[in-house]
Amino acid sequence: MSNKTAAILPPIRVRDVNSQVHGLAKTTLDWIGDYWLQLLISFGAGAAIVIALHFARRIGRGLCERDRQLHGWGIVFGRTIARTGNVFIVLLAAKLVIGFANPPAEVTRVVNFLFTISAVFQAANWARELILGAIEHRTRSEHYSGEAIGSAMGIIRLLVSFAVFAIALIVVLDNLGVNVTGLVAGLGVSGIAIGLAAQGIFADLFAALAIIFDRPFRRGDAISYDSSSGTVEAIGLKSTRIRGVTGEERIVANKQLLEKEIINNTSREYRRVVFTIGLVQATPVETMEALPSVLKDVIEAKGMKFVRAGFTTFGASSYDFDVEFDSPSAAFQEFYDARHAVGLAIVRRLNEDGIELAYPTQTTFNVKPEQNAPKSAVKTEDRRGTGAISSNSAVDEDGGQH
């Protein structure tokens, strides 16, 4: 037995048990006879401490019943206080008052030894309740109620309980002088083996907890991730269920989902619309200079927020302008309707002002074989199907489309 153990309890030999018991009893009786008044005072003080701690525990139970003012955290702290054990209360009171009675060294060592064990396990119990209470407080939110993560609390309780009480056991054994190096190493190897065997499950479990605590999205939010979009229907222990915009249900692993860039469309304040307008290359510069103001008037007349408009690039067959504006809200239907209304209004205004929109064209230069440079450039059309004007929607001389 190590020196650390001997400092807590004296060495006990089997052949000396009777003599040591009788010696301890005689010492205790002598101590009681000599310090009976101090013992009575200490006993009274200890009883008052026990009553006060029981009263505090009763307050904790009361917080569990009425936590409206604390917005749910009253249950967490109240339940933690209510988990205070009677053994710990009595030993804490004894620890606080024993010094006043001037007890024998043997009695002091016994009280210290029992209090150490009780305090370590009581601290583990408090830590367990705080951790579980914090998780349950999040899962009780109106945005997470009824989800699979709530039913997963059984597994979470098991993992948290195993962790905190394993640490408490190691601390107690270390205080008793036991060499815990081998035990810690064994637990570490076992934990690594279990973690490797179930790393996928644990990864998704911790990802689910990350969603609960970090809240990148909630149930009912419309999100975009990777190249997909949909509405979150459920956040589970291993996966999240998303209803796609075309009606299908998508089941995505939590870890895989958090590894992607997520756009929470529900958290938007507005949606931005961008139009690219291509003008024919014969458009006068004065008309192009006035175009941003014209577009601004059209957009604001439709009740939208104008952002910017201006020349962007020289297209193959056009001068390209970009116009940006914001819808009044983030609702997709309002964004869709706003885009439709403003688009038609822009076309109507351009038609009224005689501003032409460009379409893809191709010009063929006809030259004589002996000439080095073209003298004329004309647009031609081959009515047999190999026209010189190339366009997805080309307009012929008669006004028809082909």
Position 382 confidence tier, pLDDT thresholds 50, 70, 90: very low
Contact 166, 137 (CB under 8 A): no
Q: What is the pLDDT of residues 87-126, one digit of tens each?
A: 888 888 888 877 777 777 777 788 888 888 888 888 888 8
Inter-CA distances, 211 with 208, 235, 267, Å? 5, 8, 16
Q: What is the reported pLDDT for 378?
A: 41
Q: What is the reported pLDDT for 299?
A: 94
The model's pTM is 0.49
Q: What is the reported pLDDT for 153?
A: 67
What average pLDDT does range 372-388 have in this prediction?
Answer: 40
Give one DSSP letter per residue of 384-395, joined into a string: TS--SS--TT-B
What average pLDDT does the chain have?
75
329 against 311, higher pLDDT: 311
What average pLDDT does range 326-355 have in this prediction?
Answer: 90
Position 16 confidence tier, pLDDT thresholds 50, 70, 90: low
* Region of poorest pLDDT, from 256-260, 271-275, 367-371: 367-371
- Strands 249-253, 239-244: pairing is antiparallel
Answer whether residue 332 shows pLDDT above 60: yes
Q: What is the pLDDT of residues 245-254, one digit of tens each?
A: 788 888 888 8
Q: What is the reported pLDDT for 377?
A: 44
Going by C-alpha positions, the residue among 144, 135, 161, 156 that lies closest to residue 236 is 144
Answer whether residue 188 shows pLDDT above 80: no
Structural domains for the chain: 3-197 (no CATH), 204-267 (2.30.30.60), 272-353 (3.30.70.100)
Q: What is the reported pLDDT for 321?
A: 94
Q: What is the reported pLDDT for 154?
A: 65
Q: What is the pLDDT of residues 355-379, one digit of tens each?
A: 999 887 666 767 655 555 544 444 4
Q: What is the reported pLDDT for 393?
A: 32
Answer whether residue 392 shows pLDDT above 50: no
Going by C-alpha positions, the residue among 90, 97, 96, 99 that lies closest to residue 118 is 90
Position 400 confidence tier, pLDDT thresholds 50, 70, 90: very low
Position 326 confidence tier, pLDDT thresholds 50, 70, 90: very high
Position 394 confidence tier, pLDDT thresholds 50, 70, 90: very low
Neighbouring-strand partners of residue 190:
none
Q: What is the reported pLDDT for 339?
A: 93
Q: What is the pLDDT of residues 37-95, one digit of tens each?
A: 777 787 888 888 888 888 888 877 777 666 554 456 777 777 788 888 888 888 888 88
CA gap 72, 78 in Å, rounded: 10
